[in-house]
Structures are given as structure tokens and as C-alpha cells.
């Protein structure tokens, strides 16, 4: 493999140029943005995969979905097959005046390449293409079979992914999958995400009157739906922010490996305050050593929007109704349907004064936990070699809709590989990719091909 590693080192510039070319395409998948750039970026990705040595490159379409790009190299009969995933669509640019250089005009500054999609997730596309190219150019072959799938609608929640995977199950069949679209714990620290929280969310509408009324004439005996909903919301958590809904757990038991990797990571209140923009006197609702545990392995509740009258229409009234949208981040072991039921039963029980309570707009997606598999261990060894630092196993408080469908439909172990670092500002203005990490990630993936080929066969997930 050394030859492939050397080749990647000598051709670093090519990876940066590939990434720049992809960034120039404004492939925003959000509604209201032009759709043509998504076709163009799919074509550009297909051309890139082809020029880097992949075969059977094709743009795959499913009705109503933005285009997927597929390519493979399948010349190692008897060796395992690895499916590599990334996505070519991007978030909207956000507030353009805040960008130091235009979002779709890639610019290199202080070892980082700036531009929308640089880390999320065109960096992932380039890591896959470059690692494959290094092997094919330097060795004339890959040590195992590889398939590449680049999605076009990850940023809008992969609405067609499960249907797409089902329709293409034979073509995409693999022994393991590497999804390059999560973040590393820190710059230069290769990280494998092994736990994701799920999300159960819904609207709550509380009504007490047929119409809003004068708060002087009727206030007192007339129940205020805003107060009623506020009491209901307040009953979901205790004073320290822990979940206080009967039937819902406050956290989950960690495996020995998870406990071990938590111990290896240092993350304190100061880092949390800085990274998430706390005001000076705002308290952190976790003890210093317990922040990551709370972020990754405990459920969390938030109210995402609240409405009753409006600033513009503010008057001396008792409102007829109050509305909110709330979300519960769940952890492994919490069934989404049962969580939803427990939440809604609790809120109804806590609704005072005979107000009417209605639920609507429900979403429910499960938490995810990586299987323990020799593949995950091999990936950790490979990324450690690639970055020259031990790989970290981390959780992620967020919910990634594509992780579940992949392991469910394709039935093979999934490795979530980090692309950007915490300073990449994905989804925000001035997104960037650390170029040192891009280089290391490419090396890590070359080593991964090697490690997996040497594993031979392993049990399916």
C-alpha cells in the first residue's frame, strides 16, 4: 500500500482542485433553489469518478428525487465488497454578506479551503475518489471490490433514500459500508461515529376559547391557553433539564467500549460554552465530566417554536389558542412510537383546566447504534494509520436519517467516517475543509481498503 500512499502524497494538489471544481456548482437541494445545478453537479461527480478509474459510472434517477451517482470497481473475485457513500447536494449559502469569500467561489486561506459544501459533503466525494485513484494509479488495482454511491438530497433529509436503496438493492449489495458525512471530534483526530440520537417531534395546539377575548373584561375566570401550554411544556423536564416523563428513560447503559472512549476524550464546560455560543451567565446543564454523555447517550427535549398571537398583533387579550412544535432526541433502546405515546399521554395528563389538546405534524425516527463488528475495528486501525493519531469513537447528538436505512436495507455493517472538523462551520457561513485533514482522510481510506481486504470475510450485520 505504501506506493498508493506515496502517490496520494504526490498528487495532493489534484484532490484540492477536484474539491474546488465541485464547490463551484451551487447544488442546493432546498425547495426554491434552481434544480439545474444538481444535474450539473451529478454530471461533474460522474466525470470525476470515471476519470479516477471507476467503472460502470452512471447517474441513477428515481422519480421525484435529485440524481444519485454510482460507480464501481469489481475485479477482486472472492474478496469483500465495500460501499462508499457521500452526497453532492449542499445547504443553501445562508447570509451571503457574512461570507469572507463568495460561497461558490472556492478560496484557500490558512490551510483551509472555503466554500459551500467543502466539508459537507463534497469533501467526502473527493476522499473516496482520491483514495481509489491512488490505488488504481500506483498499484493498478484495488485490494478489494468497491462501489461508490453519491446521493443528491441528503440535506433535505434523504426523503427517497430508503425507496432508492430498495430499488437498487442488488446493484448496491456490499459486505460493509463507509458513509463519509459526519464530523471529526477535533482537527487531526480521526473519528468514527458509533451512536446517533433519534428524533420524535410534533405540533401541540392548546385551545380554551372559540375566539380571543379582552383580558380585562374576561381575564381571571377565563383559562389562558398560553399558560396551560407553558405548564405542560415545563412538566417534561426537571429543574436540571433531565427528562421527567413517566415511561421514558433518563439515559442508556453504555457498552464497555463506549465507556472507554468517553474516558479518552476531554471536553469541558468552557469548550461547550464557546462552541455553542452561551451568554456569560447561562448555566451548563451538565457536570464538567458528563457533557458528552448527556449530548450523546441521554434523551433531550426542546421546544423549537412557540406561537400565540404575535409581536405585531400583541394586544390586551386572553388568546383563544397556543401552538408549539416540540422535539425529543431519543437514544438507543427508545422505541419512537412508544416515546411518542408516552410524551403525548404525559402532556394530556398535565393539561390543566379542561383545555383541548391536539397533536399533529408528527415525525418519528429511531436512534442508531453501530454494530460491534470487526469492520469498525479495522476502520479504526486504518484511520489511526492515516491520521497518525488514535481514532476516537464518538457519539453524535444529532439524527442522521440515512444511517438507519442503509444498515436496514443493505444489511451490512456501517462505518460513519468523519470528514470535517468542529471548525468547518458546516450549514453555516464560511464553511471550510481543513486541507491537512483532507490529506489524512484520503490516506486513512487507502489503509482501510488494505485492512478490510486482509480481514477476508466477516459476518453480515
Question: How far apart (Å, rounded) are the C-alpha atoms in residues 411 and 172?
Answer: 11
Q: Name the residue nearer to Zn ion (CB basis): 395 or 420.
A: 420
For residue 120, state whether it binds Zn ion (rule: CB under 5 A).
Answer: yes
Q: Which one of the spans 39-47, 117-125, 304-312, 399-407 is the region binding Zn ion (CB under 5 A)?
A: 117-125
431 binds Zn ion (CB under 5 A): no
Region of 120-128, 171-179, 228-236, 270-278 interacting with Zn ion (CB under 5 A): 120-128
**Least CB distance from residue 121 to Zn ion, whole Å?**
4
Torsion angle of the four alpha carbons 136, 124, 195, 398, in this order, in degrees rounded to the nearest 10: -170
- Residue 175 contacts Zn ion per CB under 5 A: no
Query: Does residue 421 belong to the site contacting Zn ion (CB under 5 A)?
Result: no
Question: For cell 449530548, what's the residue?
Answer: 295
According to the binding rule CB under 5 A, does residue 89 interact with Zn ion? no
Alpha helices in 240-371 (DSSP H): 256-264, 269-276, 291-297, 336-350
Judged by CB under 5 A, the residue of 181, 417, 431, 451 near Zn ion is: 181
Task: Return the number of the residue (83 or 228) whose C-beta is nearest Zn ion.
Answer: 83
Q: Which is nearer to Zn ion, 150 or 340 (CB)?
A: 150
Provide the minimum distance between the beta carbon of 66 and Zn ion in the complex, in angstroms, as a whole number. 14
Task: Enter the C-alpha cell of residue 416.
Answer: 460513519
Q: How far is the CB of 119 from Zn ion (least distance, A)?
A: 8
Report the C-alpha gap between 423 and 110 in whole angstroms: 13
Residues numbered 297-356 forming contacts with Zn ion, rule: CB under 5 A: none
Are 185 and 423 within 8 A, CB to CB? no
H or E segment at 356? Answer: strand 356-365
* φ, ψ at 194 (rounded to 5°): -115, 0
Query: C-alpha cell of 350?
Result: 398535565
- Neighbour tally for 331: CB within 10 Å: 24
Examine residue 417 and tell whether it contacts Zn ion (CB under 5 A).
no
Which range binds Zn ion by CB under 5 A, 76-84, 176-184, 233-241, 342-350?
Answer: 176-184
Shortest Å, Cβ 399 to Zn ion? 13
Distance CA 285, CA 214 (A): 39
Q: Which is nearer to Zn ion, 71 or 117 (CB)?
A: 117
Q: Which of 18, 72, 89, 121 binds Zn ion (CB under 5 A)?
A: 121
Binding of Zn ion at residue 153 (CB under 5 A)? no
Residues 375-394 that bind Zn ion (CB under 5 A): none
What is the spatial distance between Cα 110 and Cα 357, in angstroms, rounded to a whole number?
54
CB 122 within 8 A of CB 76: no
| Residue 451 found at the interface with Zn ion (CB under 5 A) | no
DSSP SS3 for 61: coil
Residues of this chain that interact with Zn ion (CB under 5 A) are: 120-121, 181
Amino acid at each position: 500500500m505504501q506506493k498508493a500512499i506515496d502517490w496520494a502524497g504526490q498528487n495532493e494538489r489534484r484532490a484540492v482542485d477536484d474539491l474546488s471544481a465541485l464547490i463551484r456548482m451551487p447544488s442546493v437541494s432546498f425547495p426554491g433553489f434552481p434544480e439545474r445545478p444538481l444535474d450539473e453537479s451529478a454530471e461533474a461527480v460522474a466525470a470525476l469518478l470515471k476519470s479516477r478509474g471507476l467503472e460502470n459510472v452512471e447517474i441513477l434517477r428515481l422519480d421525484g428525487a435529485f440524481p444519485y451517482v454510482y460507480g464501481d470497481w469489481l475485479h477482486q473475485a472472492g474478496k469483500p465488497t465495500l460501499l462508499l457513500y457521500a452526497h453532492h447536494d449542499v445547504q443553501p449559502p445562508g447570509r451571503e454578506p457574512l461570507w469572507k469569500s463568495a460561497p461558490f467561489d472556492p478560496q484557500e486561506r490558512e490551510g483551509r479551503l472555503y466554500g459551500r459544501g467543502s466539508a459537507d459533503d463534497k469533501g467526502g466525494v473527493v476522499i473516496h475518489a482520491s483514495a481509489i485513484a491512488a490505488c488504481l494509479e500506483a498499484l493498478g488495482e484495488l485490494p478489494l471490490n468497491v462501489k461508490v454511491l453519491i446521493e443528491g438530497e441528503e440535506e433535505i433529509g434523504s426523503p427517497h433514500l430508503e425507496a432508492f436503496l430498495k430499488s437498487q438493492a442488488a446493484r448496491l449489495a456490499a459486505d460493509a459500508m463507509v458513509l463519509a458525512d459526519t464530523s471529526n471530534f477535533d482537527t487531526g483526530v480521526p473519528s468514527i461515529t458509533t451512536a446517533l440520537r433519534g428524533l420524535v417531534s410534533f405540533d401541540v395546539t392548546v385551545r380554551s376559547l372559540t375566539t380571543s377575548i379582552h383580558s380585562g373584561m374576561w381575564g381571571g375566570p377565563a383559562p389562558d391557553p398560553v399558560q396551560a401550554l407553558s405548564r405542560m411544556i415545563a412538566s417534561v423536564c426537571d429543574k436540571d433539564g433531565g427528562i421527567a416523563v413517566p415511561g421514558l428513560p433518563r439515559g442508556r447503559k453504555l457498552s464497555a467500549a463506549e465507556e472507554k472512549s468517553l474516558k479518552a476524550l476531554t471536553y469541558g464546560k468552557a469548550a461547550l460554552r464557546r462552541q455553542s455560543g452561551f451568554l456569560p451567565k447561562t448555566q451548563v446543564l451538565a457536570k464538567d465530566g458528563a457533557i458528552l454523555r448527556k449530548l450523546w447517550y441521554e434523551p433531550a427535549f426542546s421546544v423549537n417554536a412557540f406561537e400565540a398571537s404575535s409581536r405585531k398583533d400583541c394586544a390586551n387579550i386572553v388568546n383563544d389558542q397556543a401552538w408549539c412544535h416540540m422535539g425529543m432526541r431519543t437514544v438507543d433502546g427508545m422505541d419512537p412510537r412508544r416515546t411518542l405515546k408516552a410524551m403525548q399521554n404525559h402532556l394530556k395528563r398535565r393539561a390543566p383546566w379542561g383545555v383541548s389538546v391536539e397533536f399533529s405534524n408528527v415525525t418519528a425516527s429511531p436512534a442508531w447504534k453501530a454494530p460491534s463488528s470487526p469492520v469498525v475495528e479495522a476502520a479504526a486501525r486504518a484511520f489511526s494509520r492515516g491520521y497518525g493519531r488514535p481514532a476516537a469513537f464518538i457519539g453524535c447528538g444529532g439524527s442522521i436519517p440515512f444511517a438507519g436505512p442503509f444498515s436496514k436495507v443493505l444489511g451490512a455493517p456501517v462505518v460513519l467516517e468523519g470528514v470535517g472538523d468542529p471548525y468547518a462551520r458546516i450549514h453555516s457561513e464560511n464553511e471550510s475543509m481543513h486541507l491537512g485533514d483532507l490529506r489524512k482522510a484520503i490516506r486513512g481510506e487507502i489503509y482501510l481498503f488494505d485492512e478490510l481486504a486482509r480481514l477476508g470475510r466477516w459476518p453480515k450485520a
